[in-house]
Structure 1
Amino acid sequence: MDVYRVGGSVRDELMGLPPGDRDWVVVGATPEDMVAGGYIPVGRDFPVFLHPVTHEEYALARTERKTAPGYRGFVFHADASVTLEQDLRRRDLTINAIARAEDGTLTDPYGGRADIAARLLRHVSDAFVEDPVRILRVARFAARFHDFTVASETMGLMRDMVEAGEADALVAERVWQELSRGLMEARPSRMIEVLRASGALRAVLPEVDRLFGVPQPPQHHPEIDTGLHLLQCLDWAAAHGASLATRWALVAHDLGKGTTPQHEWPRHIAHEVRSAKLARELAERLRVPVDIADIARLVAQEHTHVHRAAELRADTMVKLLERLDVMRKPGRLADILLACEADARSRPGRDEAGYPQAAIVQAAVEAIRSVDAGAIAGEMASAGKAGGAAIAQAVHAARVRAVAAL
């Protein structure tokens, strides 16, 4: 049997990038051969094995045939007769369809190296249309390799897939998996742009798709277009090393503006409440992890209050911090504040102004942490005022006094 390293690690080597996880394909072997060699079978749908020492994945060369809509509708065929070229043909993009033999020799039957040189994301074959997840993968790769363009013929296939309803067959787990990876790339805006150009954004993130073309007041948003603002926020956050929670919060923070009646444009009264509701519904639909979904909902609901931190009365500031639940969950405050900062500073001409609101909120948090809620509860119990509501009111009043003293 012959063993080849394939996929992303080969691509990254050729691009001069640090190679990631290594994947291997085995040609000329049967499952029995692999087990006899000590490999551990792990594949459910097709023969994949773990190396007995390195635990890297080794897959038997295989072909696939479309049998039903969606990304699960495939029958795989793997045996010793399947060639390396046949295996590479089923891959998504030419840059991912290059193999390196154990002696270093490259096999590149579909022009992957030429497309790397041309900075082009191009499908390997017409079999591309059989798997809707590939639409998301192309968009994700566009976010990672942001100086690459999507080949016109590949974009055409993606549009055909969307029109045929293939994107509607995507399941929530795969959508979130690809979106979350794309958001963490160097230029996440490119993922949104490619999804929108293909029509897939309307299928997987309709709440985001309808933000494009919605105007905002130019005195607050020089970029005017709400969708463009979202793209600028994401790229600012990526440039500042933001977490996935922060980046997802930025995706969701202005969703309510897409539901503002046109006769109210460019104003968006109470869009925060609508945004929070849509953020929650979107997270439920895509099965976003709860902690990330909570941060997105809070940013959508509270970002304009954070922007006004310098103007808030002490009582209003304390109520804001209590809604953010900073005492029980202090770790998420940094993600919330960075999302608010991205919203403010990513606007054209605003980055150099900084974001003093974050320091104001942090100082207020330290002030309320200085309040000893246990001591207050003990004093009230001694005075015969041990009711929960009364204690909560007294603690709140003490926090307000602490913030007012800043």
Structure 2
Amino acid sequence: MQIYLVGGAVRDRLLGLPVKDRDWVVVGASVEAMLKQGYKPVGKDFPVFLHPRSHEEYALARTERKTGKGYHGFAFHADESVTLEQDLARRDLTINAIAEDEQGRVIDPYHGQQDLRAGILRHVSPAFAEDPVRILRLARFAARFGFSVAPQTMQLMQNMVAAGEVDALVAERVWQEMAKALMEDNPSRFFLVLRECGALQRILPEIDALFGVPQRADYHPEIDTGDHVMRVIDMAASMQQPLAVRFAALTHDLGKALTPADVLPRHIGHEHHGEKPLLALCERLRVPAECRDLARITVLNHTKIHGTAQMKPATILRLFKDCDALRRPDRFRQMLCAVLTDARGRLHFEDCAYPQVEWMEEMLRAALEVDAGAIARNCDDPRQIPAQVEAARVAAITRARQALPSSAA
């Protein structure tokens, strides 16, 4: 029995990156032999075991055969005769098909180290085309490492899309891979790779529709809405924002693909036009409520934040209510972060001043400091309580606004 460290752990060590999870392959062993040594079985579809002490995963070397469409359409074969090279051959990319033995020697039958040095994502074998999840994974690795895609691999992915393979992807897996990609340093690469191979239009048509949509050059020197959105999500990544903010950044301008032609390229009304495609996307991919709800208030209200200086105190209070900011101030502050990425996700505006965030935070703080309970206790007519609370909040917002720089007054 020989044991090898495989996959991402070897790849990341060779790249000088921290190794987070370690996966092992066992060659020349049977299920019975693993059980006899105390390994605990956990695999449903193929033999995977937990080490009795480290609890890391050890899988028997295996081969696989395509039996149907999609992620689950495979039959696996594992026994003592399967070699390490055969096991590595079933992996997606050459950079993930590298192993290391117990003495630290690297086994690299498919030249993954060469592709690591060149910064190339290349499929190991034509079997790559048998699993559509590999398109998502490759795009995610592009976002993580900034690597380019080998021309032959891009052609293979385009053929997979044309054959309808990506249509078999389940919603949960698409969201899982997209969420991981959004948390990488260059999330735009994920979407751009998917667009190049044609998968973006099939998986995320709402995002794909933004490319080629023009915007006003005075506000958006990058012109193209899709280009703008890619800059916005990369800005969110550079600011190390959480997933919900990054998803809101990705979807904030969905309505620009639906704005009536007679108002292009100003996109008047794109805010309310964006709500329907956002909710459709979220329902289709089963996006978590936290991400969906933050994205929704961002879609509907981001331009209002841009226009803070022109808003009256009563209008600002109405905005707070529309966003449920008085009950959920932290979510409102997350929306402000998403709006900031929108302002700075423009060509030549990456470092622009954006005081609207600070202005809104100060006025929200003032509104939250109003003691509604004290007003209720001192009000003789209970019917007047809501109006008095509202008036007190408008007054507090007015005072806070007057204390801000003159540009906000």
TM over 0.5: yes
| 2:348 equivalent in structure 1 | 349
| 1:11 maps to 2:11 | yes
Aligned residue for 1:53, secondary structure, equals coil
Give the whole-Å Cα distance in 1 for the aligned partners of 2:113 and 2:315.
Answer: 59
- Counterpart CA distance in 2 for 1:58 and 1:144 is 26
Output the CA distance in 2 between the equivalents of 1:251 and 1:352.
19
Deviation at 1:34, TM superposition (A): 1.5
Deviation string 1:130-189 (CA, Å, 9 cap, x unpaired) is: 00000111110001111x210000000100000001111111100001001111111111
Distance in 2 between residues matched to 1:221 and 1:53, nearest whole Å: 57
Give the match for residue 391 of structure 2.
397
Percent of aligned positions that are identical? 56
Counterpart position of 1:52: 52
The alignment status of 1:139 with 2:133, answered yes or no, reads no
Query: What is residue 271 of structure 1 aligned with on the other side?
Result: 270
User: For residue 32 of structure 1, what is the aligned residue in structure 2?
Assistant: 32
2:61 and 2:6 mapped to 1: Cα distance?
Answer: 11
- Determine the C-alpha separation between the residues in 2 that align with 1:36 and 1:378: 74
What does 1:79-118 correspond to in 2, within 5 Å?
A: 79-118=79-118
What is the CA–CA distance in structure 2 between the aligned matches of 1:52 and 1:334, rounded to whole Å?
A: 46
How far 1:128 sits from its partner (Å)? 0.2
The one-letter code of the counterpart of 2:330 is G
CA-CA distance at 1:392 after TM superposition: 3.2
Residues 289-304 of structure 1 aligned to structure 2 (within 5 Å): 289-304=288-303
2: distance between equivalents of 1:353 and 1:89?
A: 49
Q: Do the aligned residues in 1 keep the contact of 2:175 with 2:285 (CA within 8 Å)?
A: yes
- Partner residue of 1:181? 180
Deviation at 1:330, TM superposition (A): 2.3
Distance 2:252 2:309 in 1: 21
Is the Cα–Cα contact under 8 Å of residues 333 and 361 in structure 2 kept in the other structure? no
Output the CA distance in 1 between the equivalents of 2:287 and 2:40: 32
- 1:209 is aligned to 208
Deviation at 1:244, TM superposition (A): 1.0
CA drift of 1:335 comes to 2.0
* Deviation (angstroms), 1:12: 0.9
For 1:337, give the aligned amino acid: L
Which residue number in structure 2 is paired with residue 74 of structure 1?
A: 74
Q: Aligned to 2:378, what secondary structure does the other structure show? A: helix
DSSP-derived class of the 2:351 partner:
helix
Shift of 1:72: 1.1
Give 1:350 shift.
Answer: 2.0
How do 1:278-317 residues align onto structure 2 when only pairs under 5 Å count? 278-317=277-316
Equivalent AA in structure 2 for residue 271 of structure 1? H
For structure 1, the 5+ residue unaligned runs are none
Whole-angstrom distance in 1 between the partners of 2:366 and 2:167: 50
Tell me the equivalent position of 2:224: 225
Tell me, yes or no, if the aligned pair for 1:140 and 1:179 is still in contact at 8 Å.
Answer: yes
Query: Are the aligned partners of 1:253 and 1:276 in contact in 2 as well (CA < 8 Å)?
Result: no
Please give the per-residue CA displacement for 1:203-230, whole angstroms capped at 9, x wherever unaligned. 1110010100000111111111000000
* 1:379 shift after superposition: 2.9
Cα separation, 2, equivalents of 1:77 and 1:343: 50
Contact 1:129–1:161 at 8 Å: present in 2 too?
yes
| Residue matched to 1:257 | 256
SS in 1 for 2:55: coil
- What is residue 242 of structure 1 aligned with on the other side? 241
Please list, as runs of the form range in 1=range in 2, the aligned pairs for 1:186-205 lying within 5 A after superposition.
Answer: 186-205=185-204
SS at match of 2:25: strand
SS in structure 2 of the partner of residue 374 of structure 1: helix
After the TM superposition, list the runs of 4 or more consecutive aligned residues in structure 1 that deviate by more than 4 angstroms: none
Partner Cα separation in structure 2 for residue 377 and residue 62 of structure 1: 71
Counterpart-to-counterpart distance in 2, 1:288 and 1:282: 8
Question: In structure 2, the residue corresponding to 1:64 is in which secondary structure?
Answer: strand
Aligned: 1:171 with 2:135: no
Q: Determine if contact 1:40/1:49 at 8 Å carries over to the other structure.
A: yes
C-alpha deviation, 1:19, in angstroms: 1.5
Deviation at 1:263, TM superposition (A): 4.0
Contact residue 42 and residue 48 of structure 1 kept, 8 A:
yes
More divergent stretch after superposition (206-215 vs 37-46): 37-46
Shift of 1:311: 1.7
How many angstroms apart in 2 are the aligned matches of 1:142 and 1:280?
28
Secondary structure of the residue that 1:24 maps to in structure 2? strand
Unaligned regions of 5+ residues in structure 2, if any? 401-409
Distance 1:351 1:96 in 2: 35
Greater Cα offset, 295-304 or 253-262: 253-262
